[in-house]
């Protein structure tokens, strides 16, 4: 009888029973830990979840409620990840109670069909769903309505309204599926305070999704360890066998945590890891340093790298390179490192000392001229990035018909690519983009152009009484060449000429309205922001991680933005895949 090494080591199943009965002898060499494994474990649980965000909490709760003991480790001093920074717009469909209540007919089959329709393209020609992994999408489609009800059962209050199309992307063309987690009384990460009582039941917020899940995890006795950063995975043998635990850094101290059933990687993606993200787009160099959701948490690829070190494969890499919706965005706030459009850090926030400034929210891009590192304009300031697909975006829509693509009207709304084109000196990356404005613009926008709104100390905002002095002052880490003062003066003079003539002859800004003429003058950081991770570890329908040979890595799961094969923004895939991974991991046999 051949001995299954995995089962012998962990005493599971029939081979273990046979061993106990003396039917077969365990090889002597397997008693001692291999040299790469710890000699002692500091902690042990059945299931170890890494990351306490939108996928990690559902994974932990699902595993715990299925009878497994669970340790959840979180790198940051606080929980929630991007999930809690998010807008709380959750596109779970497939026939949810809300869809039924409001007369929307949906089914798992329709979700699957929508999210695998090759023929749907964006106005830029990029296909949303063509490269989605069918097994991953099938699992998502089948669990979508279940997870929606499961979230409600675990305390999430969704705004009681008809599902709509707001706040998500790549969620299918056939029916509306967006639900909105009400913020309720939970404090918000952005401000540190509660929302105004008048909007607590109607305002969508990631806090309304994550905080009830955190409470449910506590109630279920999930052991949450903050400031515990996973640094590596332990596998029985360097390139084979089960995953049996993780190495963790806890404030400089190494902690080894044994996972008797499985480790679930819910680490949130790779967008803040410059070298990792450049595998998919070489342009996104260091200056793209204000990732959405930072500085609350990072997407440093630690989950992906740890899994790849034990043989895991990445999957669906096109989905990261394709330019979908908010994957790469124009900032909404200028003059701060962290200017993501829907996230404004306020002085009461726990992470405001790291964010340093709130930024100035731009209401009307007519009020600024955007220039590159050399002080040159590059595009229409009022333009935006591409969109992504939602219910009704393709109209008329026929499933799988090439006419869907044929009927799409190309939209060259391409600010991001223009901003990332660089200055033509052969260096990757577009360099900093600066919003140039004057005192009159600040008055029109009702901006108060000083700290804590602008980050002068961090080098993300500058002020001077002349344009030439402003250009000279722009010295910071990512400004690798000085801005020639004369270039900025000439750019602004030409721009002001377009205001006089009513026509932007260079980039077609619709009727430039305001001259930049009244001191003081400002330069505010306005560099594109990276948002989503859509590439990640190869998983199967159960969330098990697959290696480079197409084989399951026993005892290793992944979910959310760290998992690949699924082009969709955010919370639905994270919560759903977290639930699936937690349930599956709990179903594993116990190791020794």
Ligand X SMILES: Cc1cc2nc3c(=O)[nH]c(=O)nc-3n(C[C@H](O)[C@H](O)[C@H](O)COP(=O)(O)OP(=O)(O)OC[C@H]3O[C@@H](n4cnc5c(N)ncnc54)[C@H](O)[C@@H]3O)c2cc1C
- Looking at 66-201, list the stretches that DSSP marks H as alpha helix, in order from N- to C-terminal side: 81-85, 97-101, 108-114, 134-153
Which residue in 569, 583, 584, 585 binds ligand X (CB under 6 A)? 569
The nearer residue to ligand X, 188 or 374, going by C-beta atoms, is 188
Give the residue closest to ligand X by C-beta: 53
Interaction mask 341-380, ligand X, x per CB under 6 A: -xx-------------------------------------
The nearer residue to ligand X, 12 or 51, going by C-beta atoms, is 51
The answer to whether 238 and 310 are in contact (CB under 8 A) is yes
The nearer residue to ligand X, 73 or 111, going by C-beta atoms, is 73
Q: Going by C-beta distance under 8 Å and a sequence separation of 6 or more, which residues neighbour residue 68?
A: 45, 46, 47, 261, 585, 586
Residue 26 beta carbon to ligand X: minimum distance, rounded to whole angstroms:
34
First to last CA, the chain: 22
- Rounded-to-integer distance, Cα 137 and Cα 304, Å: 20
Which residue in 85, 216, 474, 545 binds ligand X (CB under 6 A)? 85
Kindly state whether residue 442 participates in binding ligand X, applying the rule CB under 6 A. Answer: no
Residue 559 beta carbon to ligand X: minimum distance, rounded to whole angstroms:
7
Which residue in 60, 61, 62, 88 binds ligand X (CB under 6 A)? 88
Which residues ranging from 142 to 181 are in contact with ligand X (CB under 6 A)? 167-168
Kindly state whether residue 87 participates in binding ligand X, applying the rule CB under 6 A. Answer: yes
Residue 464 beta carbon to ligand X: minimum distance, rounded to whole angstroms:
32
Kindly state whether residue 116 participates in binding ligand X, applying the rule CB under 6 A. Answer: no
Which residues ranging from 302 to 331 are in contact with ligand X (CB under 6 A)? 302
The nearer residue to ligand X, 60 or 86, going by C-beta atoms, is 86
Which residues ranging from 38 to 57 are in contact with ligand X (CB under 6 A)? 50-56
- Rounded-to-integer distance, Cα 515 and Cα 496, Å: 5
The nearer residue to ligand X, 297 or 358, going by C-beta atoms, is 297
Cβ burial 519-547 (10 Å sphere, 16+ → b, else e): eebbbbbbbbbbbbbbbbbbbbbebbbbb
Which range touches ligand X (CB under 6 A), out of 72-80, 113-121, 145-153, 372-380? 72-80
Kindly state whether residue 582 participates in binding ligand X, applying the rule CB under 6 A. Answer: no
The nearer residue to ligand X, 441 or 559, going by C-beta atoms, is 559
The answer to whether 555 and 261 are in contact (CB under 8 A) is yes
The nearer residue to ligand X, 168 or 582, going by C-beta atoms, is 168
Which residue in 46, 63, 68, 81 binds ligand X (CB under 6 A)? 81
Among the listed residues 201, 191, 179, 159, the one whose alpha carbon sits nearest the alpha carbon of residue 85:
191
Kindly state whether residue 570 participates in binding ligand X, applying the rule CB under 6 A. Answer: yes
On the CB side of 464, CA atoms within 13 Å amount to: 15
Among the listed residues 559, 586, 567, 581, the one whose alpha carbon sits nearest the alpha carbon of residue 83:
559
CA-to-CA dists, residue 573 to 173, 369, 424, angstroms: 17, 38, 39
The nearer residue to ligand X, 264 or 586, going by C-beta atoms, is 264
* Cis ω for the linkage preceding 295 (within 30 of 0): yes
Which residues ranging from 197 to 226 are in contact with ligand X (CB under 6 A)? 206
- Looking at 296-387, list the stretches that DSSP marks H as alpha helix, in order from N- to C-terminal side: 302-309, 318-321, 352-355
Number of neighbouring beta carbons within 10 Å of residue 484: 15
Kindly state whether residue 71 participates in binding ligand X, applying the rule CB under 6 A. Answer: no
The nearer residue to ligand X, 211 or 509, going by C-beta atoms, is 211
The answer to whether 288 and 282 are in contact (CB under 8 A) is no
Which residue in 124, 170, 271, 297 binds ligand X (CB under 6 A)? 297
Say whether 322 sits in a helix, a strand or coil: coil
Kindly state whether residue 86 participates in binding ligand X, applying the rule CB under 6 A. Answer: yes
- Name the strand (E) or helix (H) holding 572: helix 571-586
Cβ burial 138-153 (10 Å sphere, 16+ → b, else e): bbbbbbbbbbbebbbe
Angle, vertex CA 116, rays to CA 110 and CA 121, nearest 5: 110
Total residues at interface with ligand X (CB under 6 A) = 43
Which residues sit opposite 225 in a β-bridge? Answer: 73
Residue 573 beta carbon to ligand X: minimum distance, rounded to whole angstroms:
7
The nearer residue to ligand X, 263 or 467, going by C-beta atoms, is 263
- Rounded-to-integer distance, Cα 213 and Cα 220, Å: 10
Which residue in 268, 290, 322, 449 binds ligand X (CB under 6 A)? 268
Which residue in 96, 116, 173, 267 binds ligand X (CB under 6 A)? 267
Token look-up 């330019």 returns 323
Which residue in 184, 259, 292, 546 binds ligand X (CB under 6 A)? 292
The nearer residue to ligand X, 6 or 177, going by C-beta atoms, is 177
- Rounded-to-integer distance, Cα 258 and Cα 245, Å: 4
The nearer residue to ligand X, 470 or 572, going by C-beta atoms, is 572
- Report the relative pairing of strands 529-530 and 521-525 from DSSP bridges: unpaired
Site of interaction with ligand X (CB under 6 A): 50-56, 73-76, 81-83, 85-89, 167-168, 206, 229-230, 266-269, 292-293, 297, 302, 340, 342-343, 560-562, 569-572, 574
């Amino acid at each position: 009888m051949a001995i299954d090494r995995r089962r012998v080591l962990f005493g599971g199943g029939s081979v273990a029973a046979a061993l106990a009965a003396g039917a077969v002898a365990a090889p002597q060499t397997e008693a001692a830990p291999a040299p790469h494994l710890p000699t002692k474990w500091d902690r042990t649980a059945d299931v170890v979840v890494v990351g306490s965000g939108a996928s990690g909490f559902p994974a932990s709760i699902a595993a715990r409620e299925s009878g497994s003991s669970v340790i959840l480790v979180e790198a940051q001093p606080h929980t929630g990840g991007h999930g809690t920074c998010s807008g709380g717009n959750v596109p779970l469909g497939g026939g949810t109670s809300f869809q039924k209540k409001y007369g929307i007919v949906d089914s798992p089959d329709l979700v699957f069909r929508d999210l695998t329709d090759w023929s749907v393209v964006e106005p830029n020609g990029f296909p949303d769903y063509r490269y989605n992994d069918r097994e991953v999408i099938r699992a998502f489609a089948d669990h979508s309505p279940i997870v929606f009800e499961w979230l409600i059962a675990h305390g999430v209050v969704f705004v009681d309204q008809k599902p709509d199309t707001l706040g998500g992307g790549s969620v299918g063309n056939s029916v509306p599926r967006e639900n909105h987690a009400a913020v309720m009384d939970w404090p918000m990460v952005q401000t540190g305070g509660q929302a105004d009582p008048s909007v607590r039941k109607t305002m969508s917020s990631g806090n309304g999704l994550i905080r009830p899940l955190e409470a449910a995890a506590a109630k279920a006795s999930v052991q949450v360890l903050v400031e515990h950063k996973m640094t590596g995975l332990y596998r029985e043998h360097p390139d084979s066998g089960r995953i049996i635990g993780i190495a963790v850094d806890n404030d400089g101290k190494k902690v080894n945590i044994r996972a008797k059933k499985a480790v679930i990687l819910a680490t949130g993606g790779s967008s803040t890891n410059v070298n990792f993200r450049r595998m998919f787009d070489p342009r996104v160099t260091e200056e793209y340093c204000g990732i959405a959701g930072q500085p609350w948490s990072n997407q440093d690829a630690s989950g992906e790298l740890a899994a790849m070190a034990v043989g895991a494969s990445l999957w669906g890499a096109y989905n990261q390179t394709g330019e979908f919706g908010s994957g790469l965005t124009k900032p909404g706030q200028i003059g701060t490192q962290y200017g993501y459009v829907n996230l404004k850090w306020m002085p009461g926030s726990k992470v405001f000392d790291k964010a340093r400034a709130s930024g100035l929210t731009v209401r009307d891009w007519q009020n600024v001229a955007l220039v590159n590192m050399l002080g040159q304009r590059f595009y229409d300031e009022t333009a935006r990035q591409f969109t992504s697909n939602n219910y009704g975006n393709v109209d008329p829509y026929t499933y799988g018909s090439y006419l869907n693509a044929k009927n799409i009207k190309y939209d060259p709304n391409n600010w991001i690519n223009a901003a990332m084109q660089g200055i033509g000196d052969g260096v990757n990356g577009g360099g900093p983009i600066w919003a140039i404005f004057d005192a009159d613009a600040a008055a029109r926008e009702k901006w108060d152009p000083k700290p804590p709104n602008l980050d002068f100390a961090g080098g993300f905002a500058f002020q001077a009484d002349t344009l030439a002095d402003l250009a000279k002052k722009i010295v910071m880490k990512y400004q690798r060449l000085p801005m020639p003062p004369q270039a900025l003066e000439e750019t602004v003079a030409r721009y002001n000429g377009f205001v006089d003539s009513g026509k932007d002859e260079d980039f077609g800004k619709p009727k430039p309205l305001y001259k930049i003429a009244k001191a003081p003058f400002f330069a505010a950081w306005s560099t594109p922001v990276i948002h989503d991770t859509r590439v990640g570890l190869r998983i199967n329908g159960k969330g098990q991680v697959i290696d480079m040979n197409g084989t399951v890595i026993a005892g290793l799961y992944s979910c959310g933005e760290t998992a690949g094969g699924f082009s969709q923004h955010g919370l639905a895939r994270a919560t759903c895949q977290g639930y699936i991974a937690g349930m599956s991991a709990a179903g594993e046999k116990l190791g020794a």
